[in-house]
A and B are shown apart, each in its own frame.
Chain A
Amino acid sequence: MNALPGLLFDGLAYGSLLFLVSIGLSITMGLMNFINLAHGAFAMIGGYASVWFSHRFGMPFLATLPLAFAVAGLAGLIAERVLFRHLYRASHLDQVLFTVGFVFSSIAAATYLFGSAQQSVSLPAALQGQVQVMGVDLGRYRLFLIGAVVVLSAGLGLLMTRTRFGAQVRAAVDNRDAAEGLGLNVGLVFSLCFGLGTGMAGLGGALGVEVLGLDPGFALKYMVYFLLVVVVGGAGTLSGPLVASMLLGVCDVAGKYYLPQAGAFIIYVLMIVLLLAFPKGLGLGRPSLSRLPLSILVRRRA
């Protein structure tokens, strides 16, 4: 039997998760030119929040998802206001060192609070098992993941293109001085973006417990994946990271199936090939690690 459709499907589901977690990193790197290696820690916070609420209060999995978003978003907002904000003008090396330190602190904190064991969630019956679509068995939960990410991405796109908040974000990215000099509180806009991004990451962490697992090493284990999405996809865009996440997801899943001996190495080869082909990232020709308008995907044509 041909394994390809199933692999493709699994890869897309995996890619959806990567996108959900990484999009906030792309936004904040693009907006603030801030290298945040601690982004995965907020995904982890979301994951633990989901597990904690369901174990402690017996909440159903789906009901914990908004809480995972809220807890991770709030944690991100506070961390940005209290810690990260002071690093925007620091060198990239300082940013890397500080945020790596943050990751190690998060590992220690998670171990202290929840122990080092793998966590698990109990999915509702409706999301367990498989459905047959055109002769291919598809996991219901993975189908749900893809659907959820499609809806969330569309929502994010609308937020950025259709709301006053989105216009303020675009203005601040286009010309920070002018935005500030015309009365926009750019620092606050950036903080809210940071909170939104870490909230999405937290949601991704919670949705990902079933697929990626969750233990205190989460933020370190997947750091490379989140960075790859942004480096390959381009920071500050929606389209680049979306394509990069899907490519990464499919190649990682397919690679581990067809070339198990190469294992996790496949994605590095992929990154090298993609960066050679698109040195500036997939983000429509924009440089990948500098300040970029988030709007280049979503720019409306008159």
Chain B
Amino acid sequence: MPDLLSVEGLCAGYGEARVLNDIGFALRPGESLALLGRNGVGKSTLIRSLIGLTRRQGGRLRFAGADITAAPPFRRARAGIGWVPQERAMFPSLSVEEHLTTVARRGPFDLARVYDIFPRLAERRANMGNQLSGGEQQMVAIARALMTNPRLLLLDEPMEGLAPIIVHDLAAVIRRLIAESGLSVIVVEQHARLALSMTARAMVLDRGRIVHDGPSTELLEDNDKLGRLVAVAA
């Protein structure tokens, strides 16, 4: 099967500052990838580079058979990249339902299906983006990305700052999405074990470079290696 996403020699950062160096990897349709690494190594920068919100300093990107190297973020999103930003990026002046309808595009995920996945959001549909708990905001961020009917879902620390019980529920939802929807998923997560347990493949970044790429089970079973590559929490 042809790759859904391929990244070649990507160098990117902010302004003149370079964060990512020579990043290369490919992702097949339906593949799930955990993106791991310590704080500040460039995980979010990689995610933002895929959606097109950093300064690209070199390299090429292909998505769904098209070259998207020069495409602006909204075109990449429309091509099928769904982004769940770190820290959720709510729109304070939009209601929950407006978060969903404003970005909606035709496809299997519509309001009814998304409310079915997150019943809590149906109850809070009229609340504004800044009147939600952290867990609800995260649900909105994921639901909002699903409403764009992506082929690739980018989840940047979806569990950050959430209570354990909510992490548990959300992890179940993400697991189900990966298993049942046929979406490709890249998930950034501080809790390496959680991310590894949800995904088939894992990639580790260190100082802007890929330092490991292999099956998730390999890292799950090799404690020492996992410890060396990332500071293991939980």
- With A167-B102, A181-B51 already in contact, the answer to whether A175 and B74 are too (CB < 8 A) is no
- In the complex, the answer to whether B53 meets A181 with C-beta atoms within 8 Å is yes
- With A167-B98, A167-B102, A302-B131 already in contact, the answer to whether A186 and B74 are too (CB < 8 A) is yes
Partner of A171, one of B73, B94, B105: B94
Q: In the assembled complex, which residues on chain B have CB atoms less than 8 Å from the CB atom of A182?
A: 77, 83, 103, 144-145, 148
A256 to B128, CA, bound (A): 46
Number of cross-chain contacts by CB at 8 Å:
80
Q: In the assembled complex, which residues on chain A have CB atoms less than 8 Å from the CB atom of B51?
A: 181
Shortest beta-carbon distance from B189 to chain A in Å: 20
B126 interfacial by beta-carbon distance below 8 Å: yes
- In the complex, the answer to whether A180 meets B73 with C-beta atoms within 8 Å is yes
- In the complex, the answer to whether B89 meets A177 with C-beta atoms within 8 Å is yes
Give the number of chain B interface residues (Cβ < 8 Å). Answer: 31
B69 interfacial by beta-carbon distance below 8 Å: no
- In the complex, the answer to whether B74 meets A171 with C-beta atoms within 8 Å is no
- In the complex, the answer to whether A181 meets B91 with C-beta atoms within 8 Å is no
Partner of B77, one of A164, A181, A302: A181
Q: In the assembled complex, which residues on chain A have CB atoms less than 8 Å from the CB atom of B48?
A: 181
A184 interfacial by beta-carbon distance below 8 Å: yes
B197 interfacial by beta-carbon distance below 8 Å: no
Q: In the assembled complex, which residues on chain B have CB atoms less than 8 Å from the CB atom of A293?
A: 92-93
Chain A contact residues: helix, strand, loop or mixed? helix
A168 interfacial by beta-carbon distance below 8 Å: yes
B127 interfacial by beta-carbon distance below 8 Å: yes
Mask for B41-67, Cβ within 8 A of A = 1, else 0?
000000010011100000000000000
- In the complex, the answer to whether A177 meets B92 with C-beta atoms within 8 Å is no
Q: In the assembled complex, which residues on chain A have CB atoms less than 8 Å from the CB atom of B128?
A: 299-300, 302
Give the number of chain A interface residues (Cβ < 8 Å). Answer: 24
Shortest beta-carbon distance from A264 to chain B in Å: 37
A210 interfacial by beta-carbon distance below 8 Å: no
- In the complex, the answer to whether B102 meets A302 with C-beta atoms within 8 Å is no
A180 to B89, CA, bound (A): 12
A170 interfacial by beta-carbon distance below 8 Å: yes
Shortest beta-carbon distance from B107 to chain A in Å: 12
Instruction: List the interface of chain A (C-beta within 8 A of B).
Output: 164, 167-168, 170-171, 173-175, 177-186, 293, 295-296, 299-300, 302
Q: List 23 A-B contacts (CB under 8 A).
A: A164-B101, A167-B94, A170-B91, A170-B93, A170-B94, A171-B102, A171-B103, A175-B90, A175-B91, A177-B73, A178-B85, A180-B53, A180-B77, A181-B85, A182-B83, A183-B103, A184-B74, A184-B102, A295-B93, A296-B93, A299-B128, A300-B128, A302-B128
Instruction: List the interface of chain B (C-beta within 8 A of A).
Output: 48, 51-53, 72-74, 77-78, 83, 85, 89-95, 98, 101-103, 105, 126-129, 131, 144-145, 148
The 9 closest A-B pairs by CB, nearest first: A183-B77, A295-B93, A178-B89, A174-B91, A180-B73, A182-B103, A167-B102, A170-B93, A302-B126
Could you list 12 further interchain pairs (A-B, Cβ under 8 angstroms) beyond the known A178-B85, A181-B74?
A164-B101, A167-B94, A170-B93, A174-B93, A175-B91, A179-B91, A180-B53, A182-B148, A184-B74, A186-B74, A295-B93, A302-B127
